[in-house]
Structure 1
Amino acid sequence: MDLIIKAAQLILGLSFLVGVHELGHMLTAKFFGMRVEKFSIGFPPKLFGFKKGETEYSVGAIPLGGFVKISGMVDESLDTEAMKAEPQPWEFRSKPAWQRLIVMLGGVIVNVLVAFIISIGLLWIVGEEDIRIEELNKYGIVAQPIAKEIGLQTGDRIKAVNGKEAVLFSEVAETLINENSSITIIRNGEEKVIPVPSNVLDKLAEKDASGFISVVYKYKVGQVIKDGRAAKGGLKAGDSILSINGTAVPYFHLLKGEFAKNKNNVIDVAIIRDKKESHLSIQVDSAGMIGIELAPIHVLQETTRQYTFLESVPKGIVNSVKVITDQIKAFSKIFRGELKASNSVGSFFSIADAYGPKWEWSHFWSLTATLSMVLAFMNLLPIPALDGGHVMFILYEIISGRKPSDKFLENAQKVGMVILLTLMLYAISNDAIRHLF
């Protein structure tokens, strides 16, 4: 069921984003009197469709994409025969360069506007949840292995991020993408500045990474795996674990630490069941697991900030633009060797995981807004066959006064398609390896 929900959100989210992107191309083309032959959400084979006026509208069987075919344009269809005829007034190639430029930017513009609208709407209707630093500092942070590597410790209190007094827990994430970052903490009453190395983001992207900093929370036994070590030891769903070998474990990170310390050992587990305390003997495996799933019980109070509509507009736009700036920063890290492409390039598997196994509409639309900005950014890359490639050639024409020949555009399109297919195969295979092995 989890897989079905992930797949459904993936298909719905991407189909929506591709649909509005191609709609941006189609509407601008029609506005300037260009003939739009086809509009498709999904790739062939065609499932169903209809024709209205000069345009055939259809839905393809492969839902992770779409296209618009505009007469007189060298595109992925490589319809070279149509380009041999004399240009017609309704064709893309017959229109002024500035009109063709707007048509090629139409998809990107609509994706950006969609992201703005969704982000503004979510802030206005749902608000923004976070944990205030003073709330977090009641218990201190839980430092995961990578955080411990750079000098953070469980129990540290956060005071500042990049030299600026921290207000919200989410601000810590800024240290992972920005350069020369630092986290100022209070430990045993002493203030320390912990530099954040530029390669931390790469380490966090590794398949087995367990995160950076997390919050303290309590737990209960949610599920005991059938025939697992915990089940054989007598542990049941709903039990409350008090201690491991006499060490109290009221919080998840303490429990996890005791399991890790007792790999391949038999442990004494004190539990409460039906208001009665009892002790169980359970074997821990070599990975520090006993075969249970834990249900978190949050002990920190989240803060939900509500925004008026007028407050939501600039905030939503800033949040959306930040997606692009973070993408640029991530690309720069790849070029500098601080972030491996294999750790940062994902495909449908990663997007489905990001949507998650639960259908929560606020999360669905939040991620869809983010992906809309990512789609806009990726489409603007100056690669032939992408919108950015077409924009590059049209800008060359505007600046130089010379239009590239149809033959040149055709060959550039072929090269661009090879580049895109190579990148897609790399992303999908890399993602598949990370998820399946």
Structure 2
Amino acid sequence: MLVVVGILIFFFGLLFSIAWHELGHLATAKMFGVKVTEYMVGFGRTIWSRKKGETEYGVKLIPFGGYIRMIGMFPPQKDEEMGRSASSSPFRAMIDDARQMSAEDIKPEDAHRQFYQRSPWKRIIVMMAGPVMNLILAVGIFSAILMGHGLNTPTLTVSTVSECVLPADAPDTQKCPPGAKPSPAAAAGFKPGDRIVEFNGKPFHTWDELQLEIRKSHGTVPVVVERDGHRQTLTADLMQTERPKLNSTSEYETVGFLGLSPTSVLVKQDIGGVADTIGEFVSLTAQKIVELPQRIPDLVSAIFGGERHKDSPVGIVGASRLGGEVLATDQIAVDERIILMFNLLAGVNLSLFVFNLLPLLPLDGGHVAGAAWEWIRRSFAKLVKRPDPGPFDTARLMPLAYAVSLVFIAYSLLVLVADIVNPVTLY
């Protein structure tokens, strides 16, 4: 029952994130006088709607996104293009269909309220407003958690000592087999509760700094620890072994290995700490989005029974399942479960922010790029005293937009199948 409740809570949280995103587009479009005929959460058949003023608000059957419909997204056809419009080219048909759909809601009294007529900077604001709303929501959630609850921060105090050396991809629950070689930390005599003061003659103040030093070290290394109020030196013979890369569970590298895990404590962050942490989250999210094409072989393998890595892409189904798993687990306290669910929701919003900034149609970033290019082109023409080139016709990019959409749909279906047959699990 808790799994089902968690799935539903997280699912509706995702729907709210989508609606919140579209609200940014809606509010700024109306602010600049653009007529908006539809505000919809979801795609496909409408299951509920209500018209208020000139805009129809509703929910559609397929809850994998949302949109607002603004009139006049594309400029009218130029005179010199009229002859080419009779071409039987499928690309030309795509362009003409997109232009027709954009113009079909335009009434004579609305001729001055079309999207393409707005200044490039206004169009950039309208298209950026959706992703920025996701960023605002993510920052709000993360800030409340980081400043009110705190961030789990590893310390220099030892929590556990690995008894032996296991393969890098071994599960956390795997026991040491008979005759297994002791880890360097176990052989050196480390104990839980030891606080590391110096490593290889250098003092350290954070676990992150120490971890980097351990990973690039090898051979015999002296380590000063504080145990029961007294300092003593332990000698560890570090080995080189394959370990997951930092911030990854699916990529590995050969590094120095000691065999310790740190004790973590909750540390409430100030504004500077919040900014640094969110900056790291944004950077990591952007990195993972760039790596999406590399995940295709892993997703296909997972569908046919292979391992599904914890950092594998997930869709709305997979994310909702994670929410159910978090709420139902008994491995952490109830308040920690709630915090983790909000962290997941904030992470989704951060992903929506970064992903929508990609300069590709039909994403928001594609429209931003088109408006920015128009701004540059018009500014240059004005500078060299040439005729105004007019609005940039993004309709001519619709064949590319359809191709990108097909790629996104195919990738989404691949993730959906993987989420169903071999979902990502946290515990």
Same fold (TM over 0.5): yes
How far does residue 81 in structure 1 lie from its aligned partner after superposition? 4.0
Kindly indicate whether the alpha-carbon contact (under 8 Å) linking 1:129 and 1:303 is maintained by their aligned counterparts in 2: yes
What is the alpha-carbon distance in structure 2 between the residues aligned to residue 183 and residue 332 of structure 1? 30
Equivalent residue, structure 1, for 2:315: 347
User: Match for 1:205 among 222, 230, 250?
Assistant: 250
RMSD over aligned CA atoms reads 4.3
Q: State yes or no: 1:416 paired with 2:374.
A: no
Q: Is the 8 A contact 1:334 1:340 kept in 2?
A: no
Query: Does the 8 Å CA contact 2:145/2:339 hold for their aligned counterparts?
Result: yes
1:326 to 279, 284, 290: 284
Give the direction of change, closer, same or farther, for the CA distance of 1:57–1:409 in structure 2 (3 Å limit): same
Letter in 1 for 2:39: F
Give the letter for the 2:131 counterpart.
V
Is 1:146 matched up with 2:188?
no
Counterparts of 1:198 and 1:301, CA distance in 2: 20
Quote how far apart the aligned CAs of 1:38 are: 1.1
| 1:288 corresponds to | none
Letter aligned with residue 408 of structure 1: R
Cα offset, 1:197, TM superposition? 6.3
Q: How far does residue 406 in structure 1 lie from its aligned partner after superposition?
A: 5.5
Distance 1:2 1:205 in 2: 30
State the shift of 1:46 in Å.
2.4
Taking a change above 3 Å as real, the CA distance of residues 100 and 164 of structure 1, as seen in their structure-2 partners, is farther
- Aligned partners of 2:133 and 2:353: how far apart in 1? 9
Q: Which residue of 2 aligns with 1:267?
A: none
For residues 146 and 79 of structure 1, the distance between their equivalents in structure 2, rounded to whole angstroms, comes to: 54
Matches for 1:154-233 after TM superposition, within 5 Å: 155=185, 165=204, 167-168=206-207, 171=208, 182=216, 189-191=234-236, 200=245, 204-205=249-250
In the TM superposition, residue 19 of structure 1 has moved relative to its aligned partner by: 1.3
How many residues are paired up?
Answer: 332
Corresponding residue for residue 304 of structure 2? none
Spell out the pairing of 1:242-391 with structure 2 (5 A cutoff).
Answer: 302-307=264-269, 311=270, 313-330=271-288, 342=299, 344-359=312-327, 360-391=337-368
Amino acid at match of 1:351: A
In the TM superposition, what are the counterparts of 1:14-29 in structure 2 within 5 Å?
A: 14-29=14-29
Q: Secondary structure of 2:279's partner?
A: helix
2:98/2:395 contact within 8 Å kept:
no
Cα gap change, 1:305/1:14 in structure 2, threshold over 3 Å: closer, same or farther? same
Q: Structure 2 vs 1, CA of residues 164 and 119 (structure 1 numbering), >3 Å: closer, same or farther? A: farther
C-alpha contact 1:105 1:387 (8 A) present in aligned 2: yes
Whether 2:375 is the aligned partner of 1:398: answer yes
Taking structure 2 as the reference length, the TM-score comes to: 0.64
Q: What is the identity percentage for the equivalent residue pairs of Structure 1 and Structure 2?
A: 21
1:98-144 Cα distance to aligned partner (Å, 9 max, x none)? 111111111111111111111111123222234423142xx424765
Q: Which runs of 5+ in 2 are unaligned?
A: 75-93, 172-180, 191-195, 224-232, 252-256, 300-308, 328-336, 379-388
Question: CA contact under 8 A between 1:320 and 1:373: conserved in structure 2?
Answer: no
SS in 2 for 1:8: helix
- Would the aligned equivalents of 1:384 and 1:416 in 2 still touch at CA under 8 Å? yes
CA contact under 8 A between 1:39 and 1:68: conserved in structure 2?
yes
**Bigger mean CA offset, 117-126 vs 183-192:** 183-192
Which structure is richer in relative contact order (CA contacts within 8 A, separation 6 or more)? 2
Distance 2:54 2:36 in 1: 7
1:238-295 CA-to-partner distances (Å, cap 9, x unmatched) read xxxxxxxxxxxxxxxxxxxxxxxxxxxxxxxxxxxxxxxxxxxxxxxxxxxxxxxxxx
* Mapped partners of 2:2, 2:21: distance in 1: 29
Q: Is the 2:285–2:350 contact (alpha carbons within 8 Å) kept by the matching residues of 1?
A: no
Instruction: Give the conservation status (yes or no) of the 8 Å contact 1:11–1:63.
Output: no
SS at match of 2:48: strand
Checking the alignment, whether the CA contact within 8 Å between 1:38 and 1:57 is kept in structure 2 is yes
Q: Which residue of 2 aligns with 1:120?
A: 143
Counterpart AA for 1:13: G
What are the equivalent positions in structure 2 for 1:28-107 lying under 5 Å apart? 28-73=28-73, 78=98, 80-83=100-103, 88-107=111-130
TM-aligned CA deviation for residue 382 of structure 1: 2.0
1:62-113 Cα offsets, whole Å, 9 max, x none, are 3332111112125x99472442768822111111111111111111111111
Q: Contact between 1:36 and 1:70, CA under 8 Å: does it hold in 2?
A: yes
**Residue equivalent to 1:227:** none
Distance 1:174 1:114 in 2: 32
Aligned residue type for 1:18: I
TM-score, with structure 1 as normaliser: 0.63
